[in-house]
Amino acid sequence: MYGYAGRILRVDLTKERAKTDVLKLDEIRKYIGGVGHAIRLACDNIKPNVDPLSPENILVLTAGPMSGIMAPTGSGCAFAAKSPLSGGIGTSVVQGFFASNIKRAGYDAIVLKGKSKRATFLRIDDDSVQFMDGRDMWGKSPARTEEMIKKDLGDASIRVAAIGLAGENLARIASVIIDRVRIAEGTGIGAVMGSKNLKAIAVLGSNSLEVADMDGILEFCREFYLRARGSAAVKYYDAHGTSEAIAVKDRVWAIAHEYTAKYRGLGTAEDILTYNSLGCLPTRNFSACTFEGAEKLANESIIDHYVAKVQACSSCSISCEQIAIIPEGPLKGTGVRLDYGPLWAFGPNCGIDRLEDVLKAVGLCYYYGLDPVSTGNIIGFAMDCYERGILAYDDVEGLDLRFGNSKAMLEIIRKMGVREGLGDVLAEGVKRSAQKIGGGAEMLANHIKSLEMTGYDLRCFRTAALGFAVSFQGSSHNCHGGQVFDLSRELTRFTGDKDRGKLVKDMEDLYAVVDSLIVCKVLIGIYEGFEDLAKLYNLVTALGMTAEGLKMAGERIITLARLFNRREGFSRKDDSLPPKIMSVPIPECVSKGSLVTREGFDHLLDEYYQVRGWTEDGMPTPEKIETLNIEAIKENEG
């Protein structure tokens, strides 16, 4: 079987037993790998209505068919479980080198059930699966845990996925940290690991991986890397190619160069300045849409002062990961990624304009194993509550929790990591926190399906507003990328133009395939859609997948996720937007007065459901399920 290891590892943590199953060819044809395969395995193994933090929840970890080979940025892995935040399907994709070791160990997926009797780390070395004593690591940071495992096992090439104190303490916004700076974030996967007393998974593999057409892959990669280099590629073909070849490829290279330019420069941090200029940068918990300190966070000279190195994932030609070093304090010397999401969450969203303080906040999230974006969202919410008098001085243990107070922000992160005082409440996520705080706090809680909002003011982005609302995950731009259309010149981002439902549907299907192959979305603009993805997939697997077949696989995966959520009680009412987005117009800026009205949003939702072939309540019809050939999932009994 080309491109796949051919086996699934099933681990019973309660009984400390492991067995392997053969990977079914029909299953991978339908669900590809990565997120698609993870969702299918979750549907098959998670019973209805289980508590996400109980031993009955299943944690799935998958590689993709591109993992471990030279396919461009094909090095990611995917997690899936019933989310402790939303109660629906929770997935997370993280790049790095961990998935390559899973494949080389001989597995395409790992399915974990039960709960260990003691703190445990799982050691996987080809066919050897060992349940190791992890009690000495309990209470340690993910980075320290990785150091201890590598030292104890005497092998620096082992790859480790670990949780921190937040996961151990079952914080619903806990993440899994891989390779020190890569985070499986957004859905509380770290809390699921913690609920199983599973501190870490350490994987080493020695098997070789076979592909169907090595020469074809080499040629594909060569052209792909040239596209990603933009203008450098044109110079190459000026010297080595024919005029006909140049003419055919000029269009692709022009798009590629424009698309990758920012990633070769400031990286995603540049979005701080872009969104600020457009009046759509959420500031002080969505109370404003521009931030006066934006230049202090994303100015090139400031960033260069902190960035120690720029690194790439496996087989990547862009190197968009800018690693900054925390200059002082307890975390001095710690490396953190300079990405838009955390920069926004701890910067504009909390009213902080000192990059050094933002880096410290991100470093603390790495230390405790917290999702930085959710954490910054929640702290901005708490600051909003404090300034409005909903949280009193005693409620915040004497902290001056006003916007702009970085000292208070850093202390709240610590409290969330160890679940102390107000931090114990906030670690439950912004929706549950607001419910516990009361007094009108729910009107200030910015989330979709309980997942905290990311750094996009949806009052400015009609396509993105729809994409965020219907996402099976909740508030995740990684499931649809709708903001891409809003930022183009083809649509008016403030109005509900026609065909946005189809735009979101098509982009969701594409993203589902990308996350199932597990290639990086940063470079998705370099591929020529499903045609290029199908070509690469066939060069690796020889399965004869067409572009249309791959597109149908994407639709199948999105529909399957919707079926899981339907089983857990989700309906049209959950495809909604936060109160501020639908009731509070944007104040002074170029976007002044914009908001998403209920009437306009319902129109978008109806259009999306119609394009999907779903009911008015947002449920897939029996005919659609049959057309997509989706196997049944266990429904609620009674």
* Residue 152 pLDDT exceeds 80: yes
Residue 184's CB is within 10 A of a number of other CB atoms, namely: 26
Classify strands 109-113 and 7-12 as parallel, antiparallel or unpaired: parallel
Tell me the pLDDT band of 237, cut-offs 50, 70 and 90.
Answer: very low
Which range in 296-300, 313-317, 462-466, 561-565 is most confidently predicted, on average pLDDT? 561-565
Q: Which residue has the higher pLDDT, 267 or 383?
A: 383
User: Distance (Å, rounded) from C-alpha 506 to C-alpha 604?
Assistant: 15
pLDDT band at 246 (very low <50, low <70, confident <90, very high): very low
Look up residue 364 and give its two tokens.
Answer: 């603390």
pLDDT average, residue stretch 297-304: 77
* Residue among 428, 342, 411, 406 at smallest CA distance from 377: 342
Strands laid side by side in the 176-178 sheet: 128-133, 120-125, 198-204, 159-162, 176-178, 182-184
Instruction: Identify the structural domains of the chain with CATH numbers, from first to last.
Output: 7-204 (3.60.9.10), 214-264 (no CATH), 267-452 (1.10.569.10), 462-627 (1.10.599.10)
385 burial class (0-12, 13-18, 19+ CB within 10 angstroms)?
buried
Considering only CA atoms, give the Rg of the chain.
Answer: 23
Tokens of 51: 């508590």
pLDDT given for residue 245 in this prediction: 45
Cβ atoms 52, 84 nearer than 8 A: yes
**In 10 A of CB 229, how many CB atoms?**
19
Mean pLDDT across the chain: 90
Instruction: Give the span between the Cα atoms of 385 and 422, in whole angstroms.
Output: 12
Mean pLDDT comparison of 147-156, 195-204, 267-276, 580-589, highest-scoring range? 195-204
- Backbone region of residue 366 per phi and psi (left: phi > 0; alpha: psi in -120 to 50; beta: other values): alpha
% of the chain surpassing 70 pLDDT: 92
pLDDT of 389-403, one tens digit each?
999 988 999 999 999
pLDDT band, residue 498 (cuts 50/70/90): low
Closest CA to 84 of 11, 6, 159, 163: 163
State the pLDDT confidence band at 230, using cuts at 50, 70 and 90.
low
In this predicted model, what pLDDT tens digit does every residue of 87-116 receive, in sequence order? 999 999 998 889 999 999 999 999 999 999
- What pLDDT score was predicted for residue 244? 46
What's the pLDDT score for residue 387?
Answer: 97
Q: How many CB atoms lie within 10 A of CB 76?
A: 32
Cα(7)–Cα(41) distance, integer angstroms: 13
Instruction: Give the model's pLDDT for residue 236.
Output: 47
If you ran DSSP here, which 8-state letter would residue 561 be given? H
Distance of alpha carbon 311 from alpha carbon 315, whole angstroms: 11
pLDDT of residue 528: 82
What residues are paired with 204 via a beta bridge?
Answer: 125
Question: How far apart, in whole angstroms, are the C-alpha atoms of residue 591 and residue 580?
Answer: 15
Token look-up 């400390």 returns 16
Query: pLDDT tens-digit profile of 314-354?
Result: 667 677 777 888 877 787 888 888 889 999 999 999 999 99
pLDDT (0 to 100) of residue 264: 66
Q: Are 108 and 7 in contact (CB under 8 A)?
A: yes
Q: What is the pLDDT of residue 390?
A: 97
Distance (Å, rounded) from C-alpha 257 to C-alpha 273?
Answer: 20
pLDDT tens string 514-546: 999 998 887 777 888 899 999 999 999 999 999
pLDDT in tens, 411-441: 999 999 999 999 999 999 999 999 999 999 9
pLDDT reading at 5 higher than 60: yes
